[in-house]
Structure 1
Amino acid sequence: MAVSLKANVRTDSKRSTLNKLRSGGRIPGIVYGKGKENTSVSVDNLTLIKTLRDEGKNVIISLDIEGDSKVDVMLHDYQIEALRGDVYHVDFYAVDMSSEIDVNVPVHLEGEAQGVKDGGILSQPLYELAGKAKPTEIPESITVDISKLEVGDSVTVADLPKISNFEITEDEATTIANVLPPTTEEVVEPGETQDGSVEPELVDGEDSNNQE
């Protein structure tokens, strides 16, 4: 089910106007997609952020555009202001609810790996999984059970079970998570170098091997 969000139409793209919108709590954006004319809009900052936090970034939004009909969209891209970390601009993509689209779905690890209990270090190289699905069939997240991973074990995309109505397009060889061996630092005794040889003693600040 789509989440409703109101949008105002923008007719002025001057920097001063956009900055005024942002200071007033609105985010400038654009709506585009197949069969949809590009439309410049603005949406309420807090409402959008709350929607994405509660529903996830792949949520279907029924965008109620001022003076226009509602359109089903997804958040395709957004820009972050570097200094304060605020959302600076958003791109909404009008979706065809009957056609598959390319998406990235968050990957969540579940359980505590046995290898971590034994002293290993858990690594997660992949946090989002690429795939295809119709907008209403996109999974909110992919859960991967890592409880049986021993030190040196890994789980790859190829190990995932098939997900109903979701086609995984990520390379099957991609590692999702693995357990690395514990790191140990070799202790070097005083007067001994890293390769085990003994350093020459210094006599009055000079190398004793060079004394005549």
Structure 2
Amino acid sequence: MKSITIKGSERESVGKKATKALRNAGKVPCVVYGGEKPLHFSADELAFRDLVYTPAAHTVKVDLGKDKIRAIMQDIQFHPVTDKILHIDFYQLFEDKEVTMNIPVRLQGNAPGVRNGGRLLFRKRKLAIRALPDKLPDFFDIDISKLKIGDNITVESLLNDDFTILHPDTTVVVQIKTQRAAVVVEDDEEAEGVEGAEGVATEGAEGEGAEDGESQE
């Protein structure tokens, strides 16, 4: 997984006055948990741009000069009106200790089921996993180029020995749901056969068409 370096300074005071002064100066107060004791630091708000305003997941290297700490973002607070970053919590990473993280899902390709009138439902845009830091993936890439109407992709197809997905195997990640105007097509040959059969039925039973249509409704 890609890492972003955040250059900051360790905070000597963590009181309300000091915190307010940091924010007024354009800095974000932060805490790193998971070590022997919480580590308080601050950094320029612009330093978090590539970490916060992106759909990708990243690890973080907190650079405090003499100390460099590897971590992941655990929680973030925004101002309810201005959307400015108010506070960020990080969790320190250790090579031999598993960590829980939400990994984004990316869809690849175009589903034939959508072209035939079905509706694509993206059920899980992120998946929670547990893994060692060096085994964390950047994304879950899912190929939907073979999904027909009624098909779905579940967590079971994404299982990997490098990590544990913290959702039931039957959890649907993406599916193609039928709509009233959708046309279910299995393959080209079958589609041609269906069209031919419909043509014969129409020619031989013009007088019954209206009644049949009502019964199908």
Match of 2:206 in 1: none
Instruction: Check whether the contact 1:126–1:175 (CA below 8 A) recurs between aligned residues.
Output: yes
**Structure 1 residue 144: deviation in Å?**
0.7
- Pairing partner for 1:150 from 148, 155, 158: 148
What is the distance in 1 between the residues matched to 2:14 and 2:119?
50
Q: Any stretches of 5+ residues in structure 2 without a counterpart?
A: 182-217
Q: Which amino acid aligns with 1:122?
A: L
Find the residue that maps to 1:116 and give its secondary structure.
helix
Q: Which amino acid aligns with 2:170?
A: A
Find the residue that maps to 1:119 and give its secondary structure.
coil
Q: Which amino acid aligns with 1:174?
A: T
Match of 1:63 in 2: 62
What is the distance in 2 between the residues matched to 1:18 and 1:79?
14
Q: Any stretches of 5+ residues in structure 1 without a counterpart?
A: 185-212
Q: Which amino acid aligns with 1:156?
A: T
Structure 1 residues 55 and 177: CA distance shift in structure 2, 3 A: closer
**Structure 1 residue 175: deviation in Å?**
0.7
Structure 1 residues 181 and 111: CA distance shift in structure 2, 3 A: same
Instruction: Check whether the contact 2:3–2:58 (CA below 8 A) recurs between aligned residues.
Output: no
Match of 2:203 in 1: none
Structure 1 residues 82 and 55: CA distance shift in structure 2, 3 A: closer
Q: CA RMSD in A?
A: 2.3
Whichever structure has more helix as a proportion of its residues is 2
Match of 2:84 in 1: 86
Following TM superposition, the consecutive aligned residue runs of length 4 or more in structure 1 with deviations greater than 4 angstroms are: 51-55
Listed as ranges, the matches of 1:105-184 within 5 Å are 105-160=103-158, 162-163=159-160, 165-183=162-180
Q: How many residues align?
A: 180
Structure 1 residues 109 and 152: CA distance shift in structure 2, 3 A: same
What is the distance in 2 between the residues matched to 1:163 and 1:58?
20
What is the distance in 2 between the residues matched to 1:4 and 1:149?
39
What is the distance in 2 between the residues matched to 1:54 and 1:122?
23
Q: Report % sequence identity.
A: 28
Instruction: Check whether the contact 1:116–1:151 (CA below 8 A) recurs between aligned residues.
Output: yes
